[in-house]
């Protein structure tokens, strides 16, 4: 009797009821495409590069390989996909929908991981469609192109779409403000990096993600380019995770 009374009660095992990461990522994909801004960015990321390719093909000089134009237009698509990543994270803070998101899934790091997976998948998908359309335009508009390096360029474009979308998501999560995140990203990539390349080309070649994509598409500096893109992804996601956990939900 005494043993029964003094015996400590068994601890109940509580099973986590949180949704699996693939399910959360699928939900985030639908959320990203449920708004007008998300739909507009999706359409722009698919259409703009092929249209630009068609316009450029009418005035272009002789082009030996299709890999160069595919990589350049893929970079154009990746820059658009930055905005998709930013809107997926910063947009929630700007529109205060983050309150509902964290109420349903309190683990903020889990939410950011799901958003990163979601925008990476969307970015890769949209970049693949855009690159395929651009390649089709080149095949029709220009004769005598070499397609030997085109498969590599197409693969790089797809990867760049995923990478730049994730970078946008990381910066958006870090700043928590859509205009600030977009302005900062495009200012750095389109203004600071070209200036840095002019005055400090050695430094720029080690930090410029746009240059890394172009080098990869042409088979140049493969290891360095992969490290540059990986560094951008890791740094922006780490900053986004830290600030997301510290920022109060209001």
End-to-end CA separation in angstroms for the chain:
54
Angle of CA points 218, 223, 228, to nearest 5°:
95
Provide the pLDDT for residue 10. Answer: 45
Q: Place 8 in a pLDDT band, splitting at 50, 70 and 90.
A: very low
pLDDT at 16 over 60: no
Provide the pLDDT for residue 133. Answer: 95
Nearest of 96, 108, 87, 82 to residue 18 by alpha carbon: 108
The larger pLDDT score, comparing residue 36 to residue 63, is at 36
Q: Which two tokens stand for residue 43?
A: 């359409």
Q: Is the residue at 14 inside a domain?
A: no
The larger pLDDT score, comparing residue 97 to residue 62, is at 97
pLDDT at 91 over 70: yes
Provide the pLDDT for residue 17. Answer: 47
Q: Is the residue at 41 inside a domain?
A: yes
Which of the listed ranges 7-16, 145-154, 177-186, 211-220 does the model predict with the highest average pLDDT?
177-186
Q: Is the residue at 97 inside a domain?
A: yes
Q: Is the residue at 5 inside a domain?
A: no
The larger pLDDT score, comparing residue 98 to residue 43, is at 43
pLDDT at 13 over 60: no
Site of tokens 């349903």: 104
Provide the pLDDT for residue 105. Answer: 86
Domain hosting residue 78, numbered range: 20-246
Q: Is the residue at 7 inside a domain?
A: no
The larger pLDDT score, comparing residue 129 to residue 13, is at 129
Query: Rounded mean pLDDT of the chain?
Result: 88
Provide the pLDDT for residue 62. Answer: 63
Q: Is the residue at 188 inside a domain?
A: yes
Range scoring the smallest mean pLDDT among 45-49, 53-57, 189-193, 241-245 = 53-57
Q: Is the residue at 1 inside a domain?
A: no
Provide the pLDDT for residue 93. Answer: 86
Cβ–Cβ contacts within 10 Å for residue 15, how many?
5
Q: Is the residue at 9 inside a domain?
A: no
Cβ–Cβ contacts within 10 Å for residue 209, how many?
23
CA distance 73 to 210: 12
**pLDDT per residue as tens digits for the range 101-132:** 888 888 899 999 999 999 999 999 999 999 99
Nearest of 164, 185, 184, 172 to residue 229 by alpha carbon: 164
Which of the listed ranges 18-32, 86-100, 215-229 does the model predict with the highest average pLDDT?
215-229
Q: Place 11 in a pLDDT band, splitting at 50, 70 and 90.
A: very low
The larger pLDDT score, comparing residue 30 to residue 144, is at 30
Domain count for the chain, please give it. Answer: 1
pLDDT at 46 over 70: yes
Provide the pLDDT for residue 18. Answer: 60
């Amino acid at each position: 009797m005494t043993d029964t009374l003094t015996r400590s009660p068994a601890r109940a095992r509580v099973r986590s009821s949180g949704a699996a990461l693939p399910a959360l990522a699928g939900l985030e994909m639908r959320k990203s495409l449920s708004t007008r801004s998300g739909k507009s960015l999706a359409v722009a990321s698919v259409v703009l590069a092929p249209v630009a390719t068609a316009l450029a093909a009418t005035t272009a000089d002789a082009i030996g390989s299709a890999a160069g134009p595919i990589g350049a237009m893929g970079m154009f698509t990746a820059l658009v996909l930055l905005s998709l990543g930013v809107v997926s994270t910063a947009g929630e803070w700007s529109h205060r929908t983050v309150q509902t998101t964290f109420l349903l899934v309190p683990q903020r790091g889990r939410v950011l991981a799901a958003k990163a997976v979601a925008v990476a998948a969307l970015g890769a998908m949209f970049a693949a469609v855009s690159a395929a359309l651009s390649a089709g335009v080149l095949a029709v508009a220009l004769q005598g192109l070499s397609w030997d390096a085109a498969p590599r360029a197409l693969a790089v474009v797809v990867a760049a779409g995923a990478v730049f979308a994730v970078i946008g998501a990381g910066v958006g999560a870090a700043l928590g403000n859509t205009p600030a995140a977009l302005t900062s990203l495009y200012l750095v990539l389109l203004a600071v990096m070209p200036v840095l390349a002019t005055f400090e080309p050695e430094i720029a070649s080690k930090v410029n993600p746009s240059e890394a994509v172009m080098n990869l598409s042409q088979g140049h500096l493969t290891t360095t380019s992969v490290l540059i893109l990986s560094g951008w992804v890791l740094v922006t996601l780490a900053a986004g995770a830290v600030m997301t956990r510290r920022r109060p939900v209001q």
